[in-house]
Structures are given as structure tokens and as C-alpha cells.
Amino acid sequence: MNVFIKIGITFLISILLLSCKSKEAIAPDEPFEEKPIKIMSFNICNDNAGAPEGYSWFGRRDDVIKLLQKHQPDILCAQEDLVQQGDYMTQAMGWTRTGMGFNPPSGGAFNGVYFNEDRFTKIQSGMFWLSETPEKYSKGWDAQAVRTCNWVIMKDKHSREEIAIFNTHLDHLGNNARIQSAKLILEKIQEIGQGRPTVLTGDFNSPRNSSPYQILAEAMGDSRLISETSPRGPIPTIVSTGTGSLTSEADYIFLKGFNVSKYQAIDDKRENGLYFSDHIPIKATLTLN
């Protein structure tokens, strides 16, 4: 066979092999198996000198860690978490915290979002104030305190989907502030979330028959009410530190773009018979729609 023909055939075979390898290289990866997301919302009660007897942070912080280790949330959305409390939890649990205190740079409560970087990658995060001027430090409407909402866009390494998490704490006195804050949060979810599967957690200081709750529930699902299995635990989530009883509901996990397979209001108690905070944590197990 002519040497030039042999060279030509060899060249063509090489090109075909390279083409096959190139196609293999650019072929889309097999999708990862979906893994449920366990998300917890927990007002941990801030670390202050005026804490009721039995509820100082120093006296209960190790019990809080044991509770978190028992329930192993993939994402914790905390309220009233001061910097030293967040530092303690991130170190004990191996988590990453995102969020800012309501009065940067001096601090204040974070409404922090805590997560495991082995499971999630942070894409973007930020905060806005619950007020008429949400982009700057401010107190809104008839609120007694400065209030904020922290948010984070993260990528789930299992599903490879980007999800949006919003975490807030509405004012405890200003009814109009709670109403206007609910409306503002929904506007920001649309602006920032941009159609991603979204979770909104927090202490909303509002029962289910209130206007703030209704505003949010008309736009998003209440995880307790849409759980595919019967919800576990009590409806009230606020603890009376005086009587030790649960008094009213305030804490919710709202969502869109997710299904809820399980919901639990965790009414575990410490060895001394007291709750872990002046709120009980709530947890939902989620899968993408």
C-alpha cells in the first residue's frame, strides 16, 4: 500500500478518535441524586445580662449544641444570634455563617444563616432593613426596634440547583411595621430570588390569623400546613420563661419551589426541665418541586 495512503488512513483514524473523546468530554454529567434539605428556624434568645433565670446563654449553650447535633439541620436560620453566640455555634458544628448584624459594623443580632460548606456553596448574600429605606440603617414605620432580613443565594452540591434563603425577625410591637415588612420581604424575594426555589424563615411575631401572616401565606406555602406527612409537635412556638409553658405561635418556614416531606416543632427540653430558649425551634425537610 502506498505510504501516503497509509499516512492518510492513520490521520483519519486519529481525527475520529479525538472527535469521540471530545464528545465524551462535553457530554453533560449525570445528574446527582437529590438529597432532602433539612432546614431549621430557631430564635435562640440573645446573650444578655437580663436573661430570665435558667436562660443565660452561658448556662444553656452546650445544651443548644446538643439539640442541634441531635436534629442535624443542613441549614440553620437563627434569630437574636449575637456574634459570640454565632461564633460558638459555628465552631461547635463546623458550620459557616452568613449575614450581618442589624447595626454594622458594631454588630447587633444577626438573623444569621448557618450551613455546611460540604453541602452548599455560597453564591451571594446580603441584608436589608425592614423600613421605608431598606438599603440603609433605619427603623421602619411604627417599629420599636431596628429590624432586618438577611438573605443568601447558595448552590446545593447534590442537586446543583441554586436556592434562596431569607431569614428575618419582625418587630414585636409595631403592627403596621409587621404588615409593611411582610410586603417588603415579598418584593425583595422577587427581586433577589429571581424565580429560584426560596425559603423564608423567621420569628414573625404574628399568629396565623394576623395580617402579616396572611400576606406571606398568600404568596408562599406554610411548611407546617403543606407537609406531606402529619406535622409533629405543638402549634405554639413562644415559651413563657415565667411559667415554662408554650403560649402562642410566631415562628414559620415559608417556601416556594419546594415540597415538604416532614415538619416538626421541636418541643424537647433540657435535663433541668426548661426549654432551650424562649422559642422552640421548627424544622422542615424539603425536596425540590
Q: What is the pLDDT of residues 119-177, one digit of tens each?
A: 999 999 999 999 999 999 999 999 999 999 999 999 999 999 999 999 999 999 999 99
Task: Supply the pLDDT for residue 217.
Answer: 99
Whether the pLDDT of residue 36 is over 70: the answer is yes
Higher pLDDT, 53 or 68: 68
Q: Residue 198 is placed in which grid cell?
A: 426560596
Please provide the average confidence, as pLDDT, over all residues in the chain.
Answer: 90
- Edge to edge, the sheet with strand 75-79 lists 96-98, 113-115, 75-79, 37-43, 282-288, 258-265
64 near 89, Cβ under 8 Å? Answer: yes
pLDDT classification of 30: cutoffs 50, 70, 90: low
Q: Decide: residue 264, CB within 10 A, 0-12 exposed, 13-18 middle, 19+ buried.
A: buried
- Percentage of the chain modeled with pLDDT above 70: 88
Q: What is the pLDDT of residues 200-216, one digit of tens each?
A: 999 999 999 999 999 99
For residue 147, the number of C-alpha atoms closer than 13 Å in the C-beta half-sphere is: 29
* Maximum C-alpha span of the chain: 100
pLDDT classification of 52: cutoffs 50, 70, 90: confident
Interatomic CA distance for residues 167 and 184, integer angstroms: 13
Residue with cell 398568600: 218
Whether the pLDDT of residue 20 is over 60: the answer is no
Strands 75-79 and 37-43: parallel
